[in-house]
Amino acid sequence: MTLMTIRQSIQKGLREALNNDPSVFLMGEDIGEYGGAYAITSGFLEEFGSDRIKDTPISEATFIGAGIGAATVGLKPIVELMSMSFSLVAFDQIVNMAANLRYMSGGQISVPLIIRAPTGAGMQLGATHSQSFETWLSEVPGLKVITFSSPSDALGLLRSAVKDSNPIIIAEPAGLYGVRGDVSDEYYEIPIGSASVVKEGNDVTLVSYGHGIPILLDTREELIKINIDAEIIDLRTLNPLDMVSIDKSIKKTGRVVLLDTSRKLGGIMPEIVSRIQENSVDFLDGPIVSVGSENTPWPYNKNLENYSLPNVDNVIESFREAYKI
């Protein structure tokens, strides 16, 4: 095992892809000489050259469109957006083109395109740089949407994404790039569409992804103090969803709390609520609890931003109120 950060595990996965497959190349704004907005590609230009590491103009629609074109003719582009917020500028390319070309061509055209983007609030980046539009993109047929909360998951999921022939969105929690964890020195992959049981427990199922997992880990420690043994599930994939793992956990615990650090209105958790209602509501001893951020533009002010984001107290209070504990 090697201790590394999420940033380092992503770098390891990208280097592997570039070294192992000559059709792979990276492109995005300032990923070359500058090394990327979050330093993910620092040193890559010197290591792999300008044919493989391509700085682009400030036009997301243009360079994602170029990535789609390159993917359809046999290359494997890995495109970096400076922020998931900027995916809006390229929604036509992502949603209408990348997601639909394989279906509309009867399988004759594949789009093995990866779009990486930092996502989420909490870094005082203001309303236009803190959005979590992976929740919107997860609704689009033809796209796979993945995310992670640990270095091990980041590397394993990236390896699987590189081998996939579908367009894939990788939502990288910007606030977790520095999170450290053990990563196996043996080669491994994590299947896309498989959730992870981060902690096993018997009294309540806690579900989230990305930025939400550290909150749930702290929540679990607080719940232990009142003799509540919580099970934590990290979704890891937003499309396709692994409802089998969630339903299995609910049947064991009889209680469920869903945490989304994007806004409570919309997001991925309402879809999970609907599926729980269809599949496993009879196993619940109380209501489905859903916790999310305030429905407001993300404030720049740090205190207001923290107030808008969910925290451990929000999760525990919502759980105790719903289940009368």
**Strand residues in the chain grouped as ranges (E):** 2-5, 24-28, 53-55, 76-80, 114-119, 144-147, 168-173, 180-183, 196-199, 204-208, 230-234, 237-239, 256-263, 289-293
Q: Where are the domains of the chain?
A: 2-183, 196-323
Angle at 210 between CA 207 and CA 211, to 5 degrees: 95
User: In 120-192, where do the E strands start and end?
Assistant: 144-147, 168-173, 180-183
C-alpha–C-alpha distance, residues 295 and 244, integer Å: 30
Which among 80, 129, 231, 305 is annotated as catalytic? 129
Per-residue pLDDT reduced to its tens digit, 111-126: 999 999 999 999 999 9
Task: Give the three-class secondary structure for 183.
Answer: strand
The SS3 call for residue 160 is helix
Tens of pLDDT along 180-196? 999 999 999 999 999 99
Mean pLDDT calculated for residue range 261-277 = 92
Domain at 2-183: CATH code: 3.40.50.970
Average confidence score pLDDT of the chain: 96
pTM metric for this prediction: 0.95
Lookup: tokens for 269? 């958790």
Q: Among 268, 9, 10, 262, which residue's Cα sits nearest to residue 116?
A: 10
Q: Say which of 29, 60, 172, 231 is annotated catalytic.
A: 60
| pLDDT value at 264 more than 90 | no
Q: What pLDDT score does 266 carry?
A: 83
Can 2-183 and 196-323 be said to share one CATH topology? Answer: yes
Cα gap 133→83, rounded to integer Å: 10
Residue 297 has pLDDT above 90, yes or no: yes
Q: Which residues contact 298 (CB under 8 A, 6 or more apart)?
A: 121, 125, 126, 127, 130, 131, 305, 308
Q: Answer for the pair 274, 290: CB distance below 8 angstroms, yes or no.
A: no
pLDDT in tens, 201-258: 999 999 999 999 999 999 999 999 999 999 999 999 999 999 999 999 999 999 999 9
**pLDDT tens, residue by residue, 138-162:** 999 999 999 999 999 999 999 999 9
> DSSP character for 95?
I
**Local structure of 87: helix, strand or coil:** helix
Q: Has 129 been annotated as catalytic? A: yes
The string of pLDDT tens digits covering residues 71-103 is 999 999 999 999 999 999 999 999 999 999 999
pLDDT greater than 90 at residue 265: no
Looking at CATH, the fold of the domain delimited by 196-323 is given as: Rossmann fold (3.40.50)
How confident is the model at residue 325, as a pLDDT? Answer: 85
pLDDT reading at 172 higher than 90: yes
Q: Please report which confidence band the pLDDT of residue 267 belongs to, taking 50, 70 and 90 as the band edges.
A: confident
